[in-house]
Structures are given as structure tokens and as C-alpha cells.
Amino acid sequence: MTPVDEAGSGVAQTDAADPALLDAATLAGVPDEFQRLWTPHRMAYIQAGPEVLRKECPFCEAPRKSDEDGLIVFRGRTAYALLNLFPYNSGHLLVCPYRHIATYDEATDEEVAEIGLLTQQAMRVLRQVSRCDGFNIGMNQGHVAGAGVDEHLHQHIVPRWGSDANFFPIIAKTKALPQLLGDVRRAIYDAWHA
């Protein structure tokens, strides 16, 4: 039996204060063919703007936070691995030295060795967790070379799948990500520490 509102319309009443309880069929709008891509993690970047990255080094700040808050999946002796806050693909990891250095040639032999080891471990874990088909791995050294944070050395490990390329990045400068960062971090962290 459908509840009747005070006007006797027969429209089901829900708690308007809780949008999660609303039935999609009763909301305004006309169904269409479009699929909706929900990428809520991008709001952090949109609302804060790029100026935030200039105030504090995110790769010096991340290790000061809990693993969950810093998106860290592994802490080594001289370097650590974390999720990219603005990923190209789900599981996009970064490997960073703890020391605030700008370029690879400033890294010590121990840092270079651990960055390499963590990169290999990240690849194994990502293959296990996400069943990716390949990787893009690299470092952008300096702003002119495309480094978003050029003051702190970091290596990108981007998992790739045969079906992950589409027109969104080219036409709309948008990347569709199927998982939230917290869920991805948890899966990678659990697999890395298993």
C-alpha cells in the first residue's frame, strides 16, 4: 500500500533530510541515455586549487599523517609508497624518499635502491589486487618536464589495462575512476602487508 501525503496525492513520503532515502523515481528529472561518472575525490583539488601544493610539500606532509589519512600503503626505511591523490588510473601509486630532494641525481645510493625495490613491490601488489595488464613508470623532473610537485622527487607507477583508454582524457580532460581512493588504499595496503 502506497502511503498518501497530506494532500492525498498518493506519493510516497520520505525523510527529505536524508537524500539517501529518496527513491530515484520520485526525484526531479527525466531519465536519459547518459551514464554518470562520480569522481568525488576530485573535489579536493577543485575546491583547494593548485595554490595548496605551493604552501606545503604534500610528500613531506604525508608521512606525518596516519597511513589512512596520508594514503600511504607502505613505509620503508628511506622511502615510502602512497596513492596519488589525483590518479590517472585506480591504483596509481607514487614512491617518494622521505628526504625533501628535487631530482633523482640528489638521491643517495640507499634511497635509489629502496625506490627501485618499492617500485618492484608495488608492481607485484598491483598485479595481484587489480589484475592490470601493464604499467607506466616514470619520474617527471622539474616543472618544465611536467612535474606537478617539482620540489620533491617521486616516481609514478600507473597500472594499465587494455580497456582503460577512452576519449575522456583527450576530449574532456576527465578520467573515469571506478573506485574511491580509500577503498583502493585499503586493498593495496592489505595485499602489501599480507
Axis crossing angle, helix 109-130 with helix 181-192, rounded to the nearest 10: 110
Q: What is the CATH number of the domain that holds 82?
A: 3.30.428.10
147 within domain boundaries: yes
The reported pLDDT for the residue numbered 139 is 94
User: How far is 80 from 118, CA to CA, in rounded Å?
Assistant: 7
163 within domain boundaries: yes
Residue 117 has pLDDT above 90, yes or no: yes
The reported pLDDT for the residue numbered 69 is 92
- For the chain, give the percent of residues with pLDDT over 70: 65
Q: Is 92 a catalytic residue?
A: no
70 within domain boundaries: yes
pTM: 0.68
Q: Per the structure, how many domains does the chain have?
A: 1
Please tell me which residue in 41, 92, 143, 154 is annotated as part of the active site.
154
| Single-letter amino acid code for the residue at 14 | T
7 within domain boundaries: no
4 within domain boundaries: no
106 within domain boundaries: yes
2 within domain boundaries: no
What is the C-alpha R_g of the chain? 21
Q: What is the pLDDT of residues 132-149, one digit of tens each?
A: 999 999 999 988 888 888
Are the C-beta atoms of 116 and 58 separated by less than 8 Å? no
Domain span at residue 185 reads 37-192
50 within domain boundaries: yes
